[in-house]
Structure 1
Protein backbone atom coordinates (compact mmCIF):
# COMPACT_ATOMS: atom_id res chain seq x y z
CA UNK A 1 0.00 0.00 0.00
CA UNK A 2 1.36 3.45 -0.78
CA UNK A 3 1.64 6.13 1.88
CA UNK A 4 -1.31 8.19 0.59
CA UNK A 5 -3.66 5.21 0.91
CA UNK A 6 -2.17 4.33 4.31
CA UNK A 7 -2.70 7.92 5.53
CA UNK A 8 -6.29 7.80 4.28
CA UNK A 9 -6.92 4.47 6.01
CA UNK A 10 -5.53 5.62 9.36
CA UNK A 11 -6.35 9.33 9.44
CA UNK A 12 -8.94 10.01 6.73
CA UNK A 13 -12.10 9.94 8.86
CA UNK A 14 -10.46 9.96 12.29
CA UNK A 15 -9.30 12.63 14.68
CA UNK A 16 -5.49 12.52 14.67
CA UNK A 17 -2.68 13.92 16.80
CA UNK A 18 0.92 14.68 15.99
CA UNK A 19 3.26 14.24 18.93
CA UNK A 20 6.79 13.44 19.93
CA UNK A 21 6.40 10.46 22.25
CA UNK A 22 8.39 7.52 23.53
CA UNK A 23 7.25 4.75 21.22
CA UNK A 24 8.37 1.57 19.47
CA UNK A 25 7.06 -1.17 17.24
CA UNK A 26 8.15 -4.67 18.15
CA UNK A 27 7.51 -7.09 15.26
CA UNK A 28 6.27 -10.50 16.36
CA UNK A 29 3.49 -12.99 15.75
CA UNK A 30 0.31 -12.17 17.66
CA UNK A 31 -1.29 -14.90 19.73
CA UNK A 32 -5.11 -14.39 19.83
CA UNK A 33 -5.25 -15.04 23.59
CA UNK A 34 -2.49 -12.49 24.17
CA UNK A 35 -4.27 -9.94 21.92
CA UNK A 36 -7.42 -10.30 24.04
CA UNK A 37 -5.43 -9.76 27.26
CA UNK A 38 -3.48 -6.81 25.80
CA UNK A 39 -6.68 -5.13 24.63
CA UNK A 40 -8.28 -5.56 28.06
CA UNK A 41 -5.18 -4.04 29.70
CA UNK A 42 -5.15 -1.16 27.20
CA UNK A 43 -8.82 -0.44 27.92
CA UNK A 44 -8.19 -0.39 31.69
CA UNK A 45 -5.07 1.75 31.16
CA UNK A 46 -6.90 4.30 28.99
CA UNK A 47 -9.97 4.38 31.27
CA UNK A 48 -7.78 5.08 34.31
CA UNK A 49 -6.00 7.89 32.47
CA UNK A 50 -9.40 9.36 31.52
CA UNK A 51 -10.66 9.30 35.09
CA UNK A 52 -7.50 10.95 36.41
CA UNK A 53 -7.29 13.61 33.71
CA UNK A 54 -11.01 14.40 33.75
CA UNK A 55 -11.06 14.71 37.54
CA UNK A 56 -8.36 17.38 37.37
CA UNK A 57 -10.77 19.64 35.55
CA UNK A 58 -13.40 19.51 38.26
CA UNK A 59 -13.56 22.39 40.67
CA UNK A 60 -13.47 21.38 44.33
CA UNK A 61 -14.69 23.78 46.94
CA UNK A 62 -13.68 24.44 50.53
CA UNK A 63 -10.80 23.09 52.58
CA UNK A 64 -11.44 19.50 51.52
CA UNK A 65 -10.94 20.54 47.88
CA UNK A 66 -7.69 22.32 48.76
CA UNK A 67 -6.43 19.29 50.67
CA UNK A 68 -7.31 17.02 47.76
CA UNK A 69 -5.44 19.29 45.35
CA UNK A 70 -2.34 19.12 47.59
CA UNK A 71 -2.53 15.32 47.68
CA UNK A 72 -3.04 15.26 43.92
CA UNK A 73 0.02 17.51 43.43
CA UNK A 74 2.14 15.20 45.59
CA UNK A 75 0.92 12.16 43.66
CA UNK A 76 1.68 13.95 40.39
CA UNK A 77 5.21 14.62 41.58
CA UNK A 78 5.66 11.02 42.72
CA UNK A 79 4.33 9.66 39.43
CA UNK A 80 6.64 11.99 37.50
CA UNK A 81 9.64 10.79 39.50
CA UNK A 82 8.73 7.13 39.01
CA UNK A 83 8.05 7.81 35.35
CA UNK A 84 11.48 9.38 34.93
CA UNK A 85 13.15 6.38 36.57
CA UNK A 86 11.24 4.03 34.29
CA UNK A 87 12.04 6.16 31.24
CA UNK A 88 15.75 5.95 32.01
CA UNK A 89 15.45 2.14 32.10
CA UNK A 90 13.15 1.95 29.06
CA UNK A 91 14.95 1.82 25.71
CA UNK A 92 12.16 3.46 23.69
CA UNK A 93 13.32 6.71 22.17
CA UNK A 94 11.21 9.78 21.52
CA UNK A 95 9.90 9.77 17.96
CA UNK A 96 7.61 11.93 15.85
CA UNK A 97 4.19 10.26 15.58
CA UNK A 98 0.96 10.93 13.81
CA UNK A 99 -1.67 8.75 15.38
CA UNK A 100 -5.39 8.15 15.67
CA UNK A 101 -7.59 5.43 17.13
CA UNK A 102 -7.06 3.57 13.83
CA UNK A 103 -3.26 3.48 13.86
CA UNK A 104 0.01 5.36 13.75
CA UNK A 105 2.65 6.65 11.34
CA UNK A 106 6.13 6.55 12.81
CA UNK A 107 9.78 6.26 11.77
CA UNK A 108 10.67 2.80 10.47
CA UNK A 109 13.74 0.71 10.95
CA UNK A 110 15.50 -1.03 8.09
CA UNK A 111 13.50 -4.21 8.75
CA UNK A 112 10.06 -2.71 7.98
CA UNK A 113 7.94 -5.30 6.18
CA UNK A 114 4.37 -4.75 5.02
CA UNK A 115 1.99 -7.30 6.52
CA UNK A 116 4.13 -8.00 9.58
CA UNK A 117 2.38 -7.94 12.95
CA UNK A 118 3.60 -6.93 16.36
CA UNK A 119 3.21 -4.70 19.37
CA UNK A 120 2.99 -0.94 19.24
CA UNK A 121 4.18 0.51 22.54
CA UNK A 122 3.78 4.17 23.52
CA UNK A 123 4.00 6.23 26.67
CA UNK A 124 0.41 7.48 26.67
CA UNK A 125 1.04 10.22 29.25
CA UNK A 126 4.26 11.71 30.58
CA UNK A 127 3.25 11.06 34.20
CA UNK A 128 2.50 7.34 33.81
CA UNK A 129 5.52 5.07 33.39
CA UNK A 130 3.54 2.04 32.16
CA UNK A 131 3.39 2.09 28.34
CA UNK A 132 0.20 1.59 26.38
CA UNK A 133 0.58 -1.60 24.32
CA UNK A 134 -1.61 -2.37 21.32
CA UNK A 135 -1.54 -5.08 18.67
CA UNK A 136 -0.74 -3.70 15.23
CA UNK A 137 -0.01 -4.64 11.64
CA UNK A 138 2.30 -2.82 9.22
CA UNK A 139 0.14 -1.67 6.30
CA UNK A 140 2.80 0.43 4.53
CA UNK A 141 6.54 1.13 4.51
CA UNK A 142 7.68 4.13 2.51
CA UNK A 143 9.55 7.40 2.77
CA UNK A 144 7.54 9.99 4.67
CA UNK A 145 6.88 13.54 3.53
CA UNK A 146 10.40 14.55 4.59
CA UNK A 147 12.03 11.53 2.91
CA UNK A 148 12.81 9.53 6.07
CA UNK A 149 11.65 5.90 6.17
CA UNK A 150 8.24 5.56 7.83
CA UNK A 151 5.89 2.76 8.70
CA UNK A 152 2.13 2.90 8.98
CA UNK A 153 0.69 0.61 11.66
CA UNK A 154 -2.98 -0.26 11.84
CA UNK A 155 -4.18 -1.15 15.33
CA UNK A 156 -6.13 -4.30 15.76
CA UNK A 157 -7.92 -6.34 16.07
CA UNK A 158 -9.36 -4.14 18.83
CA UNK A 159 -12.64 -4.85 20.61
CA UNK A 160 -15.12 -1.97 20.47
CA UNK A 161 -14.66 -0.90 24.14
CA UNK A 162 -10.88 -0.65 23.62
CA UNK A 163 -11.32 1.31 20.39
CA UNK A 164 -13.78 3.67 22.13
CA UNK A 165 -11.36 4.25 25.02
CA UNK A 166 -8.58 4.94 22.51
CA UNK A 167 -10.79 7.42 20.62
CA UNK A 168 -11.53 9.28 23.88
CA UNK A 169 -7.81 9.38 24.67
CA UNK A 170 -6.96 10.77 21.23
CA UNK A 171 -9.72 13.39 21.66
CA UNK A 172 -8.27 14.51 25.03
CA UNK A 173 -4.75 14.67 23.55
CA UNK A 174 -6.01 16.70 20.59
CA UNK A 175 -7.96 19.06 22.85
CA UNK A 176 -4.85 19.55 25.04
CA UNK A 177 -2.67 20.30 21.98
CA UNK A 178 -5.18 22.87 20.70
CA UNK A 179 -5.31 24.54 24.13
CA UNK A 180 -1.49 24.66 24.30
CA UNK A 181 -1.28 26.25 20.82
CA UNK A 182 -3.85 28.87 21.82
CA UNK A 183 -2.00 29.63 25.04
CA UNK A 184 1.27 30.08 23.15
CA UNK A 185 -0.42 32.29 20.57
CA UNK A 186 -1.95 34.47 23.30
CA UNK A 187 1.43 35.08 24.95
Structure 2
Protein backbone atom coordinates (compact mmCIF):
# COMPACT_ATOMS: atom_id res chain seq x y z
CA UNK A 1 0.00 0.00 0.00
CA UNK A 2 1.44 3.34 -1.10
CA UNK A 3 1.67 5.80 1.79
CA UNK A 4 3.77 8.52 3.36
CA UNK A 5 4.50 9.59 6.90
CA UNK A 6 4.22 13.16 8.15
CA UNK A 7 3.69 15.14 11.34
CA UNK A 8 0.50 17.17 10.86
CA UNK A 9 -2.01 19.16 12.89
CA UNK A 10 -5.14 17.06 13.15
CA UNK A 11 -8.39 16.99 15.01
CA UNK A 12 -10.80 14.16 15.81
CA UNK A 13 -14.50 14.95 16.23
CA UNK A 14 -16.41 11.91 17.45
CA UNK A 15 -19.93 11.39 16.21
CA UNK A 16 -22.07 9.98 13.47
CA UNK A 17 -20.46 10.81 10.09
CA UNK A 18 -23.93 10.79 8.49
CA UNK A 19 -24.56 14.19 10.12
CA UNK A 20 -21.95 15.89 7.89
CA UNK A 21 -22.87 17.90 4.79
CA UNK A 22 -21.31 15.63 2.15
CA UNK A 23 -21.49 18.07 -0.78
CA UNK A 24 -19.76 20.82 1.17
CA UNK A 25 -17.18 18.39 2.56
CA UNK A 26 -16.36 17.05 -0.92
CA UNK A 27 -16.00 20.58 -2.33
CA UNK A 28 -13.75 21.62 0.56
CA UNK A 29 -11.63 18.46 0.29
CA UNK A 30 -11.11 18.98 -3.45
CA UNK A 31 -10.17 22.62 -2.82
CA UNK A 32 -7.67 21.61 -0.11
CA UNK A 33 -6.04 18.86 -2.19
CA UNK A 34 -5.81 21.07 -5.29
CA UNK A 35 -4.43 24.00 -3.26
CA UNK A 36 -1.78 21.80 -1.63
CA UNK A 37 -0.80 20.45 -5.06
CA UNK A 38 -0.52 23.99 -6.44
CA UNK A 39 1.63 25.14 -3.53
CA UNK A 40 3.91 22.11 -3.64
CA UNK A 41 4.31 21.84 -7.43
CA UNK A 42 7.75 23.00 -8.60
CA UNK A 43 7.20 24.21 -12.18
CA UNK A 44 10.26 26.53 -12.30
CA UNK A 45 12.62 23.60 -11.74
CA UNK A 46 11.36 21.89 -14.90
CA UNK A 47 12.09 24.94 -17.09
CA UNK A 48 15.75 25.34 -16.09
CA UNK A 49 17.21 23.82 -19.25
CA UNK A 50 14.36 24.55 -21.67
CA UNK A 51 13.96 28.31 -21.19
CA UNK A 52 16.39 29.74 -18.63
CA UNK A 53 15.16 33.36 -18.88
CA UNK A 54 11.54 32.31 -18.34
CA UNK A 55 12.66 30.10 -15.48
CA UNK A 56 14.33 33.05 -13.72
CA UNK A 57 11.21 35.19 -14.07
CA UNK A 58 9.02 32.37 -12.74
CA UNK A 59 11.36 31.90 -9.77
CA UNK A 60 11.05 35.60 -8.97
CA UNK A 61 7.25 35.47 -9.19
CA UNK A 62 7.17 32.23 -7.21
CA UNK A 63 9.23 33.82 -4.42
CA UNK A 64 6.82 36.75 -4.24
CA UNK A 65 3.80 34.44 -4.21
CA UNK A 66 5.35 32.26 -1.50
CA UNK A 67 6.03 35.36 0.61
CA UNK A 68 2.43 36.51 0.21
CA UNK A 69 1.07 33.06 1.07
CA UNK A 70 3.33 32.86 4.12
CA UNK A 71 2.13 36.26 5.33
CA UNK A 72 -1.53 35.30 4.91
CA UNK A 73 -0.96 31.93 6.61
CA UNK A 74 0.72 33.67 9.57
CA UNK A 75 -2.19 36.07 9.91
CA UNK A 76 -4.67 33.21 9.81
CA UNK A 77 -2.69 31.25 12.40
CA UNK A 78 -2.91 34.24 14.74
CA UNK A 79 -6.69 34.28 14.35
CA UNK A 80 -7.16 30.52 14.55
CA UNK A 81 -5.37 28.00 16.67
CA UNK A 82 -4.30 24.91 14.82
CA UNK A 83 -4.86 21.54 16.49
CA UNK A 84 -1.97 19.60 17.99
CA UNK A 85 0.39 17.84 15.59
CA UNK A 86 0.51 14.05 15.42
CA UNK A 87 2.54 11.59 13.43
CA UNK A 88 0.39 10.17 10.64
CA UNK A 89 0.79 7.63 7.87
CA UNK A 90 -1.44 8.59 5.00
CA UNK A 91 -2.67 6.24 2.28
CA UNK A 92 -5.76 6.53 0.11
CA UNK A 93 -7.62 3.76 1.94
CA UNK A 94 -6.24 4.10 5.47
CA UNK A 95 -4.81 6.79 7.72
CA UNK A 96 -2.81 5.75 10.75
CA UNK A 97 -2.62 8.23 13.64
CA UNK A 98 0.09 7.92 16.28
CA UNK A 99 -0.81 8.10 19.93
CA UNK A 100 -4.12 8.44 21.67
CA UNK A 101 -6.71 11.09 20.94
CA UNK A 102 -9.73 11.63 23.20
CA UNK A 103 -12.71 9.71 21.84
CA UNK A 104 -10.65 7.99 19.14
CA UNK A 105 -10.58 4.25 19.76
CA UNK A 106 -11.38 1.13 17.72
CA UNK A 107 -15.03 1.17 16.69
CA UNK A 108 -15.42 4.94 17.10
CA UNK A 109 -16.97 6.93 14.26
CA UNK A 110 -16.30 10.56 13.55
CA UNK A 111 -14.62 13.23 11.48
CA UNK A 112 -10.83 13.37 11.04
CA UNK A 113 -9.57 16.82 10.04
CA UNK A 114 -6.00 16.99 8.68
CA UNK A 115 -4.14 20.23 7.96
CA UNK A 116 -1.97 19.08 5.04
CA UNK A 117 0.04 22.28 4.48
CA UNK A 118 0.69 25.32 6.68
CA UNK A 119 -0.17 27.72 3.85
CA UNK A 120 -3.61 26.18 3.39
CA UNK A 121 -5.84 27.06 6.36
CA UNK A 122 -8.68 24.66 5.52
CA UNK A 123 -8.30 21.04 6.62
CA UNK A 124 -8.97 17.88 4.66
CA UNK A 125 -12.05 16.42 6.36
CA UNK A 126 -12.73 12.72 6.22
CA UNK A 127 -15.65 11.02 7.91
CA UNK A 128 -15.24 7.39 8.84
CA UNK A 129 -14.32 5.09 11.68
CA UNK A 130 -11.38 3.74 13.61
CA UNK A 131 -11.13 0.14 12.47
CA UNK A 132 -8.15 -1.08 14.46
CA UNK A 133 -5.11 -0.14 16.49
CA UNK A 134 -1.61 -1.59 16.54
CA UNK A 135 1.80 -1.17 18.08
CA UNK A 136 5.11 -1.26 16.26
CA UNK A 137 8.64 -0.03 16.91
CA UNK A 138 7.40 3.56 16.35
CA UNK A 139 4.60 3.36 18.93
CA UNK A 140 0.82 3.03 19.12
CA UNK A 141 -1.18 3.65 15.92
CA UNK A 142 -4.94 4.05 15.43
CA UNK A 143 -6.15 2.91 12.00
CA UNK A 144 -8.77 5.27 10.56
CA UNK A 145 -10.72 4.25 7.48
CA UNK A 146 -12.57 7.00 5.66
CA UNK A 147 -16.10 6.41 4.48
CA UNK A 148 -16.80 6.32 0.76
CA UNK A 149 -14.97 9.09 -1.11
CA UNK A 150 -16.17 10.56 -4.37
CA UNK A 151 -14.14 9.61 -7.44
CA UNK A 152 -12.59 13.12 -7.71
CA UNK A 153 -11.64 12.96 -4.00
CA UNK A 154 -10.03 9.53 -4.42
CA UNK A 155 -8.10 10.69 -7.48
CA UNK A 156 -6.87 13.91 -5.84
CA UNK A 157 -5.91 12.09 -2.63
CA UNK A 158 -4.14 9.40 -4.63
CA UNK A 159 -2.09 12.06 -6.48
CA UNK A 160 -1.28 13.72 -3.14
CA UNK A 161 -0.10 10.46 -1.56
CA UNK A 162 1.91 9.49 -4.66
CA UNK A 163 3.60 12.92 -4.81
CA UNK A 164 4.66 12.72 -1.15
CA UNK A 165 5.72 9.07 -1.41
CA UNK A 166 7.86 9.89 -4.47
CA UNK A 167 9.48 12.83 -2.62
CA UNK A 168 10.26 10.58 0.32
CA UNK A 169 12.01 8.11 -1.98
CA UNK A 170 13.97 10.93 -3.66
CA UNK A 171 15.04 12.33 -0.27
CA UNK A 172 16.18 8.87 0.83
CA UNK A 173 18.24 8.47 -2.34
CA UNK A 174 19.89 11.88 -1.85
CA UNK A 175 20.74 10.99 1.74
CA UNK A 176 22.61 7.97 0.41
CA UNK A 177 23.18 4.60 2.02
CA UNK A 178 23.67 4.55 5.78
CA UNK A 179 27.27 4.26 6.95
Q: TM-score, normalised by structure 2?
A: 0.79
Q: Which runs of 4+ in 1 moved over 4 A?
A: 146-149
Give, in angstroms, the shift of residue 28 of structure 1.
2.3
Compared with structure 1, are the counterparts of its residues 31 and 83 closer, same or farther at alpha carbon in structure 2 (3 Å cutoff)? same
Give the structure 2 partner of residue 18 of structure 1. 5
Give, in angstroms, the shift of residue 77 of structure 1.
2.1
Question: Does 2:131 align with 1:139?
Answer: yes
Q: What is the RMSD computed on CA atoms of the aligned residues?
A: 2.7
- Could you tell me whether the CA contact under 8 Å between 1:38 and 1:135 is conserved in 2? no
User: Bigger shift: 83-92 or 151-160?
Assistant: 83-92
Give the structure 2 partner of residue 115 of structure 1. 107
Q: Show CA shifts across 1:134-163 (max 9, x none).
A: 2221112x4522585532110122112111
For residues 171 and 66 of structure 1, the distance between their equivalents in structure 2, rounded to whole angstroms, comes to 28
Give the structure 1 partner of residue 65 of structure 2. 75
Q: Show CA shifts across 1:17-64 (max 9, x none).
A: 111122222212223661232123212321333344335243162544
Note the 1:16-55 alignment, pairs <5 A.
16-31=3-18, 34-54=21-41
User: Bigger shift: 32-41 or 21-30?
Assistant: 32-41
For residues 81 and 98 of structure 1, the distance between their equivalents in structure 2, rounded to whole angstroms, comes to 29
Give the structure 2 partner of residue 102 of structure 1. 93
Structure 1 residues without counterparts, runs of 5 or longer: 1-13
Give the structure 2 partner of residue 155 of structure 1. 146
Structure 2 residues without counterparts, runs of 5 or longer: none
Q: TM-score, normalised by structure 1?
A: 0.77
For residues 40 and 102 of structure 1, the distance between their equivalents in structure 2, rounded to whole angstroms, comes to 19
Aligned residues: 173
- Could you tell me whether the CA contact under 8 Å between 2:35 and 2:120 is conserved in 1? no
